[in-house]
Each structure stands twice: as C-alpha cells, then as structure tokens.
C-alpha cells in the first residue's frame, strides 16, 4: 500500500524497537539511509539496529561509528532502498514477508512491504529519508547528515548522473548547513583508488578492443589474466563504468570469467542503445543503460557474440 510522507512520518514517530533492513551487496545509499534513519530514531529515544545479509563494507566505516548494535526484542521492520524482497539476501530473507514499511526510490519496487513510501523522482533513498525526517520533525545531527550526504553523493556519482534533479541540489544545499568534511569525504568516496583497483582499471584500459568505428568496446578479463596481475577480485566491483571513459564508446562491455568458461558481462550504454534488450537475448537483463548477462564458451567466442549483439543494439537504437 503506497503511503505519503505524512503517514510515513506518523508511522516512524510511533514505532520502536526497529530493525532497519538494507539490501545485500550494500552500497552507499542503502547504508546511508539505514544509518541515518537509525541515528535519528535513537536520537528520538527509540531503539533501532541496521541489518544486512552481508558484512558492512570497510569503506563506509565512518557511518557506523557510534551506532553499535543495541539489544532489544524487535517490534518493527523497516526496509530502506530495497526494491524487491529478493534483494535482502539470504540472512535477511526471513523478514521478506514481515516488512511493515519500505522507504525507497526505485520505480521498479515490487510493493512487497505492508506500506511503501516511494520517492519516484528522488536520485537516492537518502533524499526520501531526509524529507521524511523533516516531516517527522526528527533531529538531524552532523553524523546523520554525513550518512544522508553519502547516499545522495554515491547514487549520483557526485552529482553527475542523469538522476540528479533540482531537488537533489536543494537538499545538498541544506546539508551544507551541517559540519561535514565534504571535500575529504568526496575524495574518499570518488577519487582514491587502492593499488589493486588502479591495476584493475589499467588492465581494462589497455586491454579493450573495439568495433563499429570505436562505438562498441569489449574487454575480457580471464581468470588467468586476473591471477597473473595478482589483483584482489573484490576490486572489480563497480568497474563496468571505466570502459565508458574511452572517447567515442557508446556501448562498453566488461567481461569477467567467474569460473572456467563462464563469463559475466556487464554492459553499459551511453547512447540510445537499449542494452537491457540486448542482454535479454542471452537470458540476462537490467536497465536500458546498464544491464548484464552470462555467457559460456571461449574468450574469443564470447567476445564475438557480444560484439555482434552490441552492433545490433546500436543499429536498433539509431
């Protein structure tokens, strides 16, 4: 059941002993939303914990300090930035049909929760959380503001992507009232790369091939290649955008060999090409500009099939 800010504010104002669920493979927005809400609820004298099926990533350490788990008997279950109960992951799957309120911004939300507060045009769930806390008249301190800013900044690629709206900037302006080390935080979130991450990006930028006059680019990272380069496999997360940095590339495909002969392709489009349709041909899917699929075969065979499909997607989108 869809609800508005007023009703959602009343709900969180009246709840207690809250479990806040984030999605598996957590990103800055789900964690920012979770910890901002948690802090605000605790500041209002309530008990709340943030849960995730996966371990909290070290790179968002600054969000967790001072928000250690409390001991209580759960009464309320709220999910943040979780579009589908399946995305809760294994450990939290037990709550899949127990979510009383979902606060989200994905238009693909499957409405699995009892109540859904959906900010359809919000760039991040943190934008929705911010408005909700204001509606509920709940105090926002510096640390809460840091969490909200992190969610908004990471989901927009630091105010860069297509999801940025006037409201995104207005909220960012309001967050500037708080004592947040913005530049230092931005540097940490967007600029700094580990040595392994740099190696991974170099592998991609020196190893890609192109067709269709440079418009389609494919790079295949075999198990062999990754092992020889001695790169921590974790460093490949979120790396599918790197190939899009190459001038002229409209469809960029980053392929990783997951197990021998099984290749996961991450496809990105910067043009009118629909890569979700392209990936569906291989049994995959996703969004118009970002999708994925799995292929089996040899590196050369996989490359050939992907180039062919990309050329077709380009022609269809033209």
Residue numbers at the binding site for a copy of itself (CB under 8 A):
158-162, 164-167, 169-170, 172-174, 176-177, 182-183, 186-187, 190-195, 198, 202, 205-206, 241, 244-247, 270
Nearest Cα to Cα of residue 289 among 281, 277, 297, 298: 277
- Residue 230 CB coordination number (10 Å): 8
Residue 69 tokens, joined: 């788990």
Nearest Cα to Cα of residue 196 among 234, 156, 158, 154: 234
Residue number, 272 or 296, with CB nearest to a copy of itself = 272
Name the DSSP class of 107.
T
Residue number, 98 or 169, with CB nearest to a copy of itself = 169
Minimum Å gap between C-beta 227 and a copy of itself is 19
Minimum Å gap between C-beta 269 and a copy of itself is 12
- With beta carbons less than 8 A apart as the criterion, state whether 79 and 8 touch: no
Residue number, 75 or 202, with CB nearest to a copy of itself = 202
Minimum Å gap between C-beta 217 and a copy of itself is 11
Residue number, 94 or 183, with CB nearest to a copy of itself = 183
Minimum Å gap between C-beta 111 and a copy of itself is 28
Residue number, 60 or 112, with CB nearest to a copy of itself = 60
Minimum Å gap between C-beta 212 and a copy of itself is 16
Residue number, 164 or 291, with CB nearest to a copy of itself = 164
Coil, helix or strand at residue 264: strand
How far apart CA 281 and CA 25 sit, in angstroms, is 26
Residue number, 59 or 91, with CB nearest to a copy of itself = 59
Residue number, 14 or 207, with CB nearest to a copy of itself = 207
First to last CA, the chain: 40
Q: In angstroms, what is the C-alpha Rg of the chain?
A: 21
Q: Is the dihedral of CA 168, 151, 124, 234 positive or negative?
A: positive
Minimum Å gap between C-beta 67 and a copy of itself is 25
Residue number, 64 or 182, with CB nearest to a copy of itself = 182
- With beta carbons less than 8 A apart as the criterion, state whether 277 and 268 touch: no
Residue 223 to residues 229, 232, 236, 255, 303: CA-CA distances in angstroms? 10, 12, 12, 11, 15
Residue 105 tokens, joined: 């911004």
Minimum Å gap between C-beta 82 and a copy of itself is 25
- With beta carbons less than 8 A apart as the criterion, state whether 236 and 256 touch: yes
How far apart CA 215 and CA 49 sit, in angstroms, is 47
Residue 17 to residues 77, 80, 85: CA-CA distances in angstroms? 9, 16, 21
How far apart CA 169 and CA 153 sit, in angstroms, is 10
């Amino acid at each position: 059941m869809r609800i508005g800010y007023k009703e959602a504010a009343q709900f969180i104002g009246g709840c207690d002993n809250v479990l806040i669920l984030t999605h598996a493979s957590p990103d800055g927005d789900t964690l920012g939303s979770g910890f901002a809400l948690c802090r605000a609820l605790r500041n209002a004298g309530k008990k709340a914990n943030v849960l995730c099926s996966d371990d909290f990533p070290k790179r968002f350490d600054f969000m967790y300090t001072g928000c250690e788990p409390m001991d209580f008997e759960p009464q309320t279950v709220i999910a943040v930035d979780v579009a589908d109960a399946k995305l809760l992951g294994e450990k939290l799957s037990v709550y899949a049909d127990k979510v009383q309120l979902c606060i989200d911004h994905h238009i693909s939300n499957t409405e699995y929760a009892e109540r859904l507060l959906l900010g359809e045009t919000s760039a991040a769930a943190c934008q929705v959380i911010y408005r909700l806390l204001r509606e509920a008249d709940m105090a926002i301190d510096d640390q809460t503001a840091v969490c909200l800013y992190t969610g908004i900044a990471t989901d927009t690629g630091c105010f860069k992507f297509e999801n940025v709206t006037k409201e995104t900037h207005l909220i960012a302006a309001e967050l500037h009232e708080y004592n947040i080390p913005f530049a230092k935080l931005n540097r940490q979130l967007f600029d700094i790369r580990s040595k392994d991450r740099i190696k991974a990006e170099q592998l991609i930028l020196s190893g890609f091939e192109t067709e269709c006059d440079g418009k389609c680019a494919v790079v295949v990272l075999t198990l062999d290649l990754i092992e020889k380069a001695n790169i921590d496999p974790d460093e490949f997360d979120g790396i599918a955008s790197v190939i899009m940095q190459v001038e002229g590339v409209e469809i960029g495909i980053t392929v990783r060999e997951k197990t021998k002969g099984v290749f996961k392709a991450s496809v990105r489009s910067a043009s009118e090409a629909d890569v979700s349709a392209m990936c569906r041909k291989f049994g995959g899917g996703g969004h118009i500009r970002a999708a994925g699929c799995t292929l089996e075969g040899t590196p050369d065979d996989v490359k050939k099939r992907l180039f062919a499909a990309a050329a077709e997607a380009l022609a269809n989108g033209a």
